[in-house]
Structure 1
Amino acid sequence: MKSPYAVSCANNRFTILLDGDPLLGPIKPEVKFEADGAYEATPQLKLLSHYEADKSGTSGDCTDHTLVYEDEKGETKLTIIIEAYAHALLCRVNLVCAHKNFNDSSRYLASVGGITLRDEGFDAPEGYMASYQFQRWWTQPAFGSNPAEMPDHTISLLWKLGGVYHHLLPVCGDVLRTELAGRDGGIDIRLSAYNYGHNNLETVSFALASGGDPYELPLTTAALGLQARGSAAGLRSAKAYPDVLEYLGWCTWDAFYDDVTEQGITDKLEEFKRHELPVKWLMIDCGWSETKEGKLQSFAENRDKFPGGLRPLIERAKTDYGLNWVGVWQAFTGFWEGIDPDGRLAVEMKDHLYRTNHGKLLPFPDVAKGFGFWNAWHTYLRRQGVDFIKVDNQGSLVLYFRNNLPIGTAALGAHAALDASAGTHFGMRMINCMGMATENIWSRPGSSVSRSSGDFFPQIEDHFKLHALQNPYNCYYHGAFYHGDWDMWWTKHEYARNHSVLRAVSGGPVYVSDKVGATDPEMLRPLILVDGRVLRCDGPGLPTEDCLLTDPNQAETPLKIWNRAGAAGVVGAFNLNREKKKVRGGMRPSDVPGLAGDRFAVFDYYARTVVSIARDEAIALELDNDELAYYVIAPYESGLAVIGLSDKYVSPAAIEAVERRGELTIVRLKQGGVFAFAANVPPVRALVNGGEAAVRRENGFYSIDCSAYACALTIELQTNEWEGDLDHVG
């Protein structure tokens, strides 16, 4: 199939076309050098040639558009290769510098923005969403139509033009990192090594895809970028979700911060036991290690805080309190400021540590040498009974390794070493954290879970509105690579209910960081089964299409987050308006992509009502400041819609299987509870595990109370043949 993408050239610039119309450009390539620490004037590049060739490329048959630029001295040659596929486009960049006299031998590519593709005509009249690094560890979205307002360090760009969505995803290669920045009249595509001394380079710069379904685009661009890099990393869909995170957990961070102790942990586990709350894992966060002045001194625990040691505590947690897993926090850099150069660890691990130009001592960013460090630490932790890890401070690589190693090289080596050890010792049970920089995202070969927002800050007023903004919008691109961790929260908090619904639609882990004496079990029970299993959605929670290019902190419309749970969909709606205005909008079954069927039962969790509507019919939404709504959308099949356990947020996730045999519908549930369904006509008979069961008519639906059953059960619903309106139940 011929590619819809093409390239045209004029005035030493090139333009990327889609179906013959300009999409990006005109683009002017620039190369910037520095010598002896000072930037030099940018050489003027002239387009020498542009030729096309059909070939078999990274992702199948494509047309190569090769553009060769050279400066007037013939010393700088920049080649840009556009691989145009039927479904997407890939940009490669090659640079060759041949200095012709001795005095130029210290002239190298600038470490930041050494190569820039300057787009002079970016147009997004229908809006864009730019995901950018607002801190070195985290990203969040920026919205607009004016490219001058697009932030620096943008690492994902979605925009709409002519009714078609386009997604540009910068790639981090073995040396260079690509990112975007807005300016008057266009955007800059900047390639940086964050390291001095490079002249001859080749890299993948970005992937681009276009289409009517915005949710397919990041999957396409991420897959193409990974293929082009020859990366061992894969898409989220190819990675296993850690078994530990299928259950409810507790993290010590917001309960104690750095002052975590053995006694404090024991007190909290006692509280969970009194509440009969099935917490199945514990994460001992920052503060447990032996450190000095922000530097790691040893692999062991701080005995002032853990006088009995980690192992006895972990054994008690499992035997006395019913936990299955205990994890510990680590820093990607050893500790926040690295490893103590005067400590015994520096001597013991000297062959596995890297001393930077800034004097920091860090785990060696090399798969072999770095593995030695992590393997030794993880061997110790496994002996203590530790089952999994959370690794923080990953986005600080560029800070510590700048002008030591190229950022792409440092990231590949550091992540490969960590993942190899995490796989060896913990079966890849690992939460990556503070690692949303593009070099982190593209460089992890095996781990599958990564935090998708900044921290939960319980003391900051209205912080929920930022937290709820970051997670679903970040997951638009981040979810192509990883299962998103939407962070911990408090069950006794002004926004506790909002946070609980946010985790319900997240598709990720559910864990809290409650202080001792400050847990509300009823805030957690709608999220879990009696054995602690999380009722988890199928993928990452994402903004609905009508919200993708709109800032919910500014708009007077709600943020709607959709997800799937088997055949059903869920939508959480939130008022995130920063000015505390009322927001209005509508919720439709079509807000959830891919739902089968023509009519749907929409269960309003808080109103306890069901309405039956067509795919594009809307339910009016009106939310006051901080108010939320939550819906389950179940398709009708043969006149019956299975909602699931109505006392659970992700009620369809409690369904093991549904089987239909003519007028008989058989539903297998993972446990008992209040089972809800909507039907065109009342059932004539209902059985629970073979025994007669009472069917209760509710507000637009029916329910069967199966609360007496703590284990899996089977419900049989017998109906007559029906003809009529699905709105019959009222």
Structure 2
Amino acid sequence: MQKPIKNLFLFLSIAFSVISNSQTNKIKNNVFDASAISKNGIEILNGYSAVPNNGVLGNYSVTLPEYESVVYISTIGREKILDGMNRVFSWAAKDLKTIVTKDFNPDTKAGGEPSRNGLLALFKLKNDEFLLLQGVTSPKAMSYFVIADDGKLSINLATFGIDAVSGDIPLITYARGKNVYDVFQKAWKNAIYTEALKGRTAMRYEKEYPEIFKYLGWCSWEQYHTKVSSDLMVDAMQKIEKSPLPIRWVLLDNGHEHSYKSADGMNSSRMLSLKGSPETFPNGFKPMMDAKTEKIKWTGIWHTMNAHWQGLHPEHEIHELDPYLVKISKSGGFDVMMPKGDYESSQKFYNTLIGSAKKDGFDFVKIDNQNRQIAFYQGMSNPVAIVSQHAQSLESAALEHSDGLMNCFCLDMLSLMNTKYSATSRVSVDYLLNNEAKAKSHLLQSYQNTLWMGQAVWPDHDMFHSSDKFCGQMMAVSKAMSGAPIYLSDAPVDFQEKLVLPLSYSDGELLRPLAPAVPLPESVMLSALTTPQAYRVVAPLQHGAAAFVAYNLMHPAPADKVTSAFRVKDYEAAGEFIQPKAESWKAPKEGLVFYDWYEQKGGKLENEYKFDLIGFADKLVQLSPIKNGWSVIGNPNKYLSASTVKSIEYSDKKLKIVMIESGELVVYNPSPISCSSAKKIENMGNGLWKLYLPEAQKNFEVVITLKD
């Protein structure tokens, strides 16, 4: 977990400069005029006061400029806003009305129709500009968008409670411009540097990335679901220890709890204590702790934001919490115990929850079901304020008692705008084994939601099976592109080593990009599941290289091949998601070298590299700059090949490279080369040379020269 921001003066200075230039007054007679937006800004209701009506403080119509297409970010279920927020989709359409029509169903595996209630709306305008409108959650209220049946857009400001609200309340943040990445970043900054949100979250780069998540991990959920036990976990850990895969941490997911169970499962499941289940973990978690080794260094445990799916049982055993709990009656005819909404109760609850994991020997905690919590408090004083406080208390408790917080089921503004210290969050629906349609939807969600969530966190794409018959390698590549935690869920006997080993070094440390992968501008507005067109993403790598992936996500897959390409102009988008914001990348004067990872071939890029995608398929290509006639691809056995190189020194006749960990190395030069460190040099054609170097030596120096 990150320690509090050190340079407070700098932070406040930046915040002041952003806010002073961005507050606006575009509301008249409860109408927000988005057609008048010319740059970035935020609408703040100064001196606001209102009492909720059915939980809603106010409604504001939106006047929109003319636009060519829209991407609307919302969940499933036409009227839903308080639930389902690990199912947040990027609904692409020609207009808003299309999204709320009955026959609009671009994602057959979403599980329902698009909600009219949205978090963000991105419009492609007729002058090739983008306009982003984004809701804001402050400690007092949250805003979200509503599409009427006729396609008109409005903004709701809500608490979902009954208490009056007063003060300066942020309503909506927005940005407009030709650079789609800029509009997301500017809108986010507008919101988090307001007085109301100051210090409640931060930019991605301002947070400390947990050491644990820099290494390869394993999670019990997708393989075993709730059928976990102490014996099973110890057995899995022992098999992982013997495996050639350098898995360094293990996560015990849902199923370990001492809870009240009934036939309807999670719908009435409530926590009885913070100990393990007496039936399946009779000796608690000590056997797991005893199974830790030098290799399996860390362990994590799963809980939900409420302690369990439906909170604590009224007859729970955690009696030190009794003064801090409130009884809530659920519509299913049962009662649950939840933390009260005040600061002291909230702090006590989460310090107890996260502290129990530490006492049991766990190094980090995964927290699930976060954005469902607000529905528990619906109709009480101010649910937005209560849950915002809980989110802040969770962050503080994790900072004190844990070495990492893994946020799950948190694809909403309330969760994101309260990630004070945590550096990772899930950005997609759950991964499902051997499910082609779900895999396509999962990939699309993961990248699209990174555009807004990735401003504050590294985007967790969820666990995966390397043995997945449809997309084992595809999932491995997408996780590598995310820069976030990577964790398997196969039974250890099913590990596919050749697909997993390219993710990390021999000690399990992951190769990570400089920023998480996001869709290229032409793909942002694409309805990728219904259009026979490649969905293309990019992640920046070290030394000016960039990794690109193209996907054929249409479902069912088109009978004909999908032809796509990566071009010089695509390279110029590669650095746009790096934080803090740097200058846009430009192709070097000497050009670029492409390297097709799957086909292990490449050469100098002459405008574009064209390829075909047949069926559910992807293509991983790296573009690397040419300097002094040289280009460095890196270790071709790793997905993010360029990330294997620590430093490069270029000169006309010599190339000096330090590899983080030695192995094979591919470089480019039109002329023959020599290297005394190489056991063998292979001519791959088109100016590419593969050097076979000693294996697994840290900080290995390589000097390559041109032959006389």
Task: Give the TM-score of the pair, scaled to structure 2.
Answer: 0.85
In structure 2, what is the equivalent of residue 686 of structure 1? 675
Whether 1:93 and 2:45 are equivalent positions in the alignment is yes
How far, CA to CA, are the matches of 2:526 and 2:65 in structure 1?
Answer: 19
Find out whether 1:124 has 2:67 as its counterpart: yes
Shift of 1:121: 4.1
Note the 1:576-587 alignment, pairs <5 A: 576-581=553-558, 582-587=561-566
Q: Which amino acid aligns with 1:646?
A: P
- Counterpart check, 1:571 vs 2:548: yes
In the TM superposition, residue 239 of structure 1 has moved relative to its aligned partner by 1.0
Contact 2:248 2:297 in 1 (8 A): yes
- Partner in structure 1 of residue 20 of structure 2: 60
* Whole-angstrom CA distance in 1 between matches of 2:367 and 2:634: 37
C-alpha displacement of 1:338: 0.5
| C-alpha displacement of 1:259 | 1.2
Greater shift, 582-591 or 385-394, is seen at 582-591
Please give the secondary structure, in 2, of the residue aligned with 1:317.
coil
1:231 aligns with 2:198: yes
The answer to whether the Cα contact below 8 Å between 1:275 and 1:521 also exists between their aligned partners in 2 is no
Deviation at 1:435, TM superposition (A): 0.9
2:258 to 274, 290, 295: 290
Aligned to 1:143: 92
Q: Which moved more, 1:114-123 or 1:539-548?
A: 114-123
Match status 1:672 vs 2:662: yes
Residues 497-536 of structure 1: per-residue CA shift (max 9 Å, x gap): 1111111212211111112522112210111111101111
Q: Structure 2 counterpart of 1:92, which letter?
A: I
| 1:61 CA displacement | 4.0
Match of 1:699 in 2: 685
Q: What is the Cα deviation at residue 417 of structure 1?
A: 0.9
Q: Does 1:612 align with 2:601?
A: no
1:178 is matched with 143
Query: 1:183-223: CA deviations, max 9, x gaps?
Result: 32531122121112436454101111112211122111111
Alpha-carbon shift at residue 63 of structure 1 (Å): 7.2
- Aligned AA for 2:232? G
> 3-state SS of the aligned residue for 2:605?
strand
Residues of 2 paired with 1:415 and 1:609: CA distance?
48
d(CA) in 2 for partners of 1:378, 1:371: 11
Amino acid at match of 2:550: A
**Structure 1 residues 253-294: Cα deviation after superposition (integer angstroms, max 9, x where no partner):** 112111111221222223223332111000000111211131
> Residues 137 and 95 of structure 1: is their aligned pair in 2 closer, same or farther, counting only changes over 3 Å?
farther
Say whether residues 1:111 and 2:54 are aligned partners: yes
Per-residue CA shift, 1:212-242, capped at 9, x if unaligned? 2111221111111001133311111211111
Gaps of 5+ in 1: 1-55, 70-77, 99-107, 722-730
**In structure 1, what is the Cα distance between the partners aligned to 2:323 and 2:512?**
43
Offset from partner CA, 1:625-657 (integer Å, 9 cap, x none): 112111111111111111100011001111111
Q: 1:164 matched to which residue of 2?
A: 129
Give SS of 1:250's match: strand
Which of the pair has more CA radius of gyration? 1
Distance 2:534 2:28 in 1: 49
Deviation, 1:591, is: 2.0
Whole-angstrom CA distance in 2 between matches of 1:500 and 1:67: 47
For residue 62 of structure 1, report the CA deviation from its aligned partner. 5.7
Runs of 4+ in 1 over 6 A off after TM superposition: 78-82
Partners of 1:633 and 1:58 in 2: CA distance: 35
Confirm whether residue 275 of structure 1 aligns to residue 267 of structure 2. Answer: no
Secondary structure of 2:512 counterpart: coil
Cα gap change, 1:68/1:585 in structure 2, threshold over 3 Å: closer, same or farther?
closer
Q: Secondary structure at the match of 1:109?
A: coil
Q: Distance in 2 between matches of 1:389 and 1:469?
A: 27
Instruction: Give the aligned partner of residue 133 of structure 1.
Output: 75
1: CA distance, partners of 2:240 / 2:528: 36
Q: How does 1:225-264 map to 2 (within 5 A)?
A: 225-228=191-194, 229-232=196-199, 233-264=201-232
| CA distance in 2 between partners of 1:709 and 1:578 (Å) | 42
Distance 2:496 2:405 in 1: 27
Gaps of 5+ in 2: 1-15, 77-83, 100-114, 262-268, 576-584
> Which amino acid in the other structure matches residue 546 of structure 1?
E
8 Å CA contact 2:160, 2:379 repeated in 1: yes
Q: Residues of 1 paired with 2:188 and 2:383: CA distance?
A: 19
Does residue 1:153 correspond to 2:120, yes or no?
no
Q: Work out whether residues 86 and 409 of structure 2, in 8 Å CA contact, stay in contact via their aligned partners in 1.
A: yes
SS at structure 2 position matched to 1:278: coil
Q: Are residue 716 (structure 1) and residue 703 (structure 2) matched?
A: yes
Higher relative contact order (CA 8 A, sep 6+): 2
What is the DSSP-based 3-state SS (H/G/I as helix, E as strand, rest coil) of the residue aligned with 1:416? helix
User: How far did 1:113 drift?
Assistant: 4.5
Query: Residues of 2 paired with 1:521 and 1:718: CA distance?
Result: 35
Q: Deviations over 1:361-391 (max 9, x none)?
A: 1134444322212222333322322100100
Quote how far apart the aligned CAs of 1:307 are: 3.0
Q: Aligned in 2, Cα 1:199/1:171: closer, same or farther, shift over 3 Å?
A: closer
Change (3 A) 1:258 1:94: same
Moved more, 150-159 or 272-281: 150-159
- Are the aligned partners of 1:378 and 1:421 in contact in 2 as well (CA < 8 Å)? yes
Q: Which residue of 2 aligns with 1:621?
A: 611
SS at match of 2:357: helix
State the secondary structure of the residue aligned to 2:323: helix
SS in 1 for 2:25: strand
C-alpha change, 1:476 and 1:63, in structure 2 (3 Å) is closer
Residue identity (%) = 18
Q: Name the structure 1 match of 2:307.
A: 334
Matched residue, 1:419: 395
Q: Deviations over 1:82-105 (max 9, x none)?
A: 9x999511111257669xxxxxxx
1:181-196 → structure 2 map (5 Å cutoff): 181-183=146-148, 184-196=150-162
Matches within 5 A, 1:177-576: 177-183=142-148, 184-198=150-164, 200=166, 202-228=168-194, 229-232=196-199, 233-293=201-261, 294-318=269-293, 322-345=295-318, 347-356=319-328, 358=330, 359-427=335-403, 429-458=404-433, 460-494=435-469, 495-566=471-542, 567-576=544-553
SS of the aligned residue for 1:517 comes to: helix
C-alpha distance in 1 between matches for 2:17 and 2:206: 22
User: Could you list the per-position Cα deviations for residues 340-380 of structure 1 after superposition, in whole angstroms to 9, with x for gaps in the alignment?
Assistant: 111222x3211232333644311344443222122223333
Q: Which residue of 2 is the match for residue 657 of structure 1?
A: 647
What is the aligned partner in structure 1 of residue 579 from structure 2? Answer: none
Q: Distance in 2 between matches of 1:174 and 1:261?
A: 40
> CA 1:573 to 1:58, structure 2 compared with 1: closer, same or farther past 3 Å?
closer
- In structure 2, give the amino acid aligned to 1:369: S
Task: For 1:686, give the aligned amino acid.
Answer: C
How far apart, in 2, do the equivalents of 1:589 and 1:385 lie? 51
SS of the residue corresponding to residue 489 of structure 1 reads coil
Equivalenced residue count is: 637
TM-score by length of 1: 0.83
Instruction: Render the CA deviation track for 1:125-163: whole Å, top value 9, x for unaligned.
Output: 1x2222112323431100012121344222122222111
Provide the rounded CA distance (Å) in 1 between the counterparts of 2:610 and 2:623.
15
Aligned to 1:602: 594
Residue type matched to 2:136 in 1?
Answer: V
